Chains A and B, each alone.
Chain A
Amino acid sequence: MLRFTMRRGRSLLDKPLEPIPAPISKVARAMLSDFDEIADKVNDVAAGLSHRFLDLREAGRWSTATLEEIENIGEAEIAFAQAAYHGLTRALRHLGAEEGLVSEVRTAEAYKAAIQSGAAESDRFTLAAALLQEMAQRGVIRDVLPDPEAEEAGLDEPDLARIAILALILWFLAERQGDEGDAEALLLTCCDVARALKADLDDSLEDSTRLRDLIAAYADKI
């Protein structure tokens, strides 16, 4: 009920946003994002996961893990959500998002769905493609506000979300050579490569085989 009330509050606040002058609108948008975050945390409680997400001592534990490492963890969807949250927020910032919301709940659900689809039984690229599709379909990233540079480059909200997810997937698959700092730098490199692959991503997003081949072709080129 609390969750519904918060969502409802957001939809009510959504309406008068457009006529508000830009600076005020921006503040309102930030407030709405906070609402969504709280609503997601409530959702996390319902899913029995929030104590982990809200536990600062555990936050970031899996933040630079690879997909292979995550697969071998007991509650893999939680580790995946943590790592994805960490990666997506940084990727979005690098790609030119002034603000946005990443849902750990939807990310964990996307992971579970991809695993349940049986994609993991083929190969890691098939699983990666399934994860990308599930994350995109479930809207793990939302309320993205592109910065002026991204807008000038023709990148809108869905573009930034899709590119950030591809960057995250490439990062999960890329060979790690150094420490945590190198892993962060590698993520930014993955963002640049993912952005260069935007047209290919747009063409293959709905086709799991083509998407798998795209990921397979470039994962080891990072």
Chain B
Amino acid sequence: MSLPVPEVLSETDRPIRRAMRRMRWFKQSFAQQVDAISRASGVDYRIHDDRLAQTFIAWLRAFEAQKPTQSTARRAYTNFASGLMLKQMIQDAPLAVASVPVGSDASNPAYYWPEGYAYVAYCLNVRSAVLAQDFDEALALTPDLSNIRDWWSFKENVTEDPSLAIAFLDLFAGEEPNWASPALFYEKTERLEAWPRGDRSG
């Protein structure tokens, strides 16, 4: 399943991980994401700028609160931070659906939960752009991103506990989710994962 990508994410001349921490860039990139999805799906959205600012401030605080001290944890924290963003978006709901095309297929995630789909697309695209810029990695999306059963479970679970959005985003990104305590970042785990397999027993 290919996700429409905001134009600003294709700009490679500026570090996205830094740009992301400025409200004007966040607002612009999110608006572009929503516009791209709207053009592809025909869903008409409305962005609540005040709620989006609330999302940004809350995310910034959460991001700074658990920022790791070790540079080796940066990649894992990129994944975690994108999950934090998804959690915050689901909590604050900066997007509303104005209209959905008549006869749209509700088994397609883009129509089943249009707001959730836009949030997931944005967070995965930003995550992918940072990984590509800073770690020269291409994000391989799992085929499950288009699996409607996962989206049923996703919507049901995050409605009860928004922090599970962090684990679900890992699932959608093909990473191993931390279902037990998704809202906590474990710097130690990252360091262990960075070691060669043979060294783990010692």
Q: What is A's interface to B at a CB cutoff of 8 Å?
A: 153, 177, 186, 188-189, 192-193, 195-197, 218, 220-222
Contact = CB atoms under 8 A, between A and B. Distances in A.
A40 B52 CA distance: 37
Interface residues of B, number: 14
Contacts of A188: 49
A132 B30 CA distance: 31
A222 B22 contact: yes
B57 interface: yes
Interface of B: 21-24, 27, 49-50, 52-54, 56-58, 60
B23 A189 contact: yes
Contacts of A218: 57
A188 B31 CA distance: 15
10 contacts: A153-B50, A186-B24, A188-B49, A189-B49, A192-B23, A195-B53, A195-B54, A196-B53, A221-B21, A221-B23
Contacts of A192: 23, 49-50, 52-53
A143 B58 CA distance: 32
A221 B53 contact: no
A161 to B, nearest CB: 17
Nearest to B57: A196
- Give the top 3 A-B pairs by smallest Cβ distance, nearest first: A192-B53, A196-B53, A196-B57
Contacts of A222: 22-24
B60 A195 contact: no
A195 B23 CA distance: 13
Contacts of B58: 196
Contacts of A197: 57
Contacts of B60: 221
B24 A196 contact: no
A76 to B, nearest CB: 27
